[in-house]
């Protein structure tokens, strides 16, 4: 009974996980028009720049996730 009440108030484990991901999905969706406007060469150059940022500058992959996705 308490499990049912807990799920009603806080949601299931999956619902809580999806709620945490929503801001990331919104960031990705906001970048879509910008990425679609890039030419193939520009897109490849941008991906290469991201690789350099991760390898040389130590930027985390999580920080680049919305742009790379």
Averaged pLDDT, groups of 10, the chain, 69 residues long = 70 89 94 89 89 86 83
- Predicted pLDDT of residue 11: 81
- Predicted pLDDT of residue 69: 80
Among 33, 19, 26, 27, CA closest to 64: 27
Cα 3–chain centre separation: 31
Please, what is the end-to-end C-alpha distance for the chain in angstroms?
Answer: 41
Q: What is the dihedral of CA 23, 28, 32, 33, to 10 degrees?
A: 50
Indicate the pTM of the whole model: 0.69
- Predicted pLDDT of residue 30: 94
- Predicted pLDDT of residue 1: 63
């Amino acid at each position: 009974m308490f499990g049912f009440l807990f799920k009603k108030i806080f949601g299931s484990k999956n619902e809580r996980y999806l709620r945490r991901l929503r801001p990331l999905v919104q960031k990705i969706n906001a970048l879509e028009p910008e990425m679609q406007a890039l030419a193939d060469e520009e897109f490849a150059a941008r991906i290469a720049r991201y690789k350099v940022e991760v390898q040389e500058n130590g930027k985390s992959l999580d920080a680049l996730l919305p742009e790379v996705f």
